[in-house]
Structure 1
């Protein structure tokens, strides 16, 4: 221990015992009793009690307590004092961490972390858990804002700034710190600490211009949408793919289609794609103006109405806003529309494969509005006359002709 009891034991007079008081309250925070702390610091028990509780006269407080009393925790996300008392009691009974966590309705990691953070280490290396001292430590750590670790350590700050300048990512820097300084925990930070030092204004821990060295180049964090703040879907009254007839899933009966849009540069132009699940027959939908919901509905209805009635059984689409008018489309064509689950393109695997083939004719990043209806028909005819392995090397046009003849 660095603290040494003063050699001169006479009265100090007007001189304040600053070092003794600081050491006394540090020991109290560590869980020492008043008697133990007074013995270590070298003061009288009565002096320790006066420092802790304040010395009062009949009319006014002469010496207020130097240790501020922090309010007890009441939020459910934090351990309360009664829970810490329960932990201490059960630890004395040699209960396991998992048993204690189950009794409190907490995660075992919460209880384990609480014991590790707030336990008291004795002079001989043994540890014991004091609930009231643990509560005081937890309350003392909670106030915000706190000085950042990077701003308090110039060596750490210079290391991070140097490697950010070399365009290292924060995660790479953090792992390099642990490898280069394995025995110095003051040099260990997480990548989130580095990001906060860059993004949080007012800290001044890292130079703001270093944010340009990040791969994103952003000087502020991009917020992630929370589930409770998501915008309502543009497509209402959807019928999900789970309600689609079983005959569509096994491809036994023709007439079930999958559809989507392939979009051009800056999403300003698009072409509608329809592929029949059984025969892989392709039809392309001309969208010369835009791909808003009304225009997409009208163009799809015009294309589907050219099919015979026995080839108009269902249409499967993703949850794109271009199908917001799906109910009007169903009324106009008598074709029900089923929607895939979010982020599940494999539920329209045939259409996704067909879109990949179409990119040979309509590359990404090009203007698709320059293609006329005749151009689209020519591309569809070429695809439908191409032999397909999945059809036994028949073409989609041949397979469709056989089914219609049967």
Structure 2
């Protein structure tokens, strides 16, 4: 019996999933032939195509697709109800095309070799090493804050526009490639998301559009956090999909920037994760370390807390749950908790390269 073209596309979703999961067992193959082979070519091509445009093409495409979908459902609601199987087939066909495009354009990076392997690191989970590193981070953060404000009680106000932060981050990558050549970045395509308000209500600081390869940053973020998020999203653009790895890359490019405001933002970002880890295991030690932070640094942390709290809403946990499931389905078994796994990378890295 002859299978129609639409049915064939819809049914191809199953073998696609099997192939992706099978390839996922061969991280060396993915690393050599996709992540450092095909992907850099396709990524650079799309950065050239869309990087010069000042607004997000990917956001406009998403918006157009949502409007088209709603319009289609409304206009065809009666025929959909009468032909449920055909509608399910059409949905599966769209999912099949999206699944293929996602993995072809970016998604196979979820199955590449760990960044720790490239850096020759063994993720460090020794509690004493974490304590020592956190104390050093506090020292560096406090020193940077005082160097900027000349007053330990004042919060740091990063004086740059978001465009300037984009440019300084790109300059930071130019410097970082002298330390780690595999993190070289050219033909930039990094932009504020047109949906920054929606992203904030969902609890997201940014995202990479895998279909246009545009690094999207939440334009409402306070400047205290903006530089690291820009570095994080460019890390995704360079082909690193794991959130702990792009958190680490975002820290590296920010803390190694020649600009002291960026250094402060990078140190404070890493410090937040380290303190969170310590608080979960020893609240007394957490309180002791917290008491050694300059009041101005605490004010910056409070600024971020106030920002996210002002957008808190009942739907945020739903969006976080969806994203958590998405990460788990894409080879990140810890889901959203994988963001915090950056700590073991930070400790191991600075065991080799002390602050």
| Structure 1 length-normalised TM | 0.19
Q: Which has the higher helix share?
A: 2
**Which structure exhibits the higher relative contact order, with contacts defined as CA atoms closer than 8 Å and separated by 6 or more residues?**
2
**Which structure has the highest strand share of the two?**
1
> For the pair shown, which has the larger CA radius of gyration, 1 or 2?
1
TM-score w.r.t. the length of structure 2 is 0.21
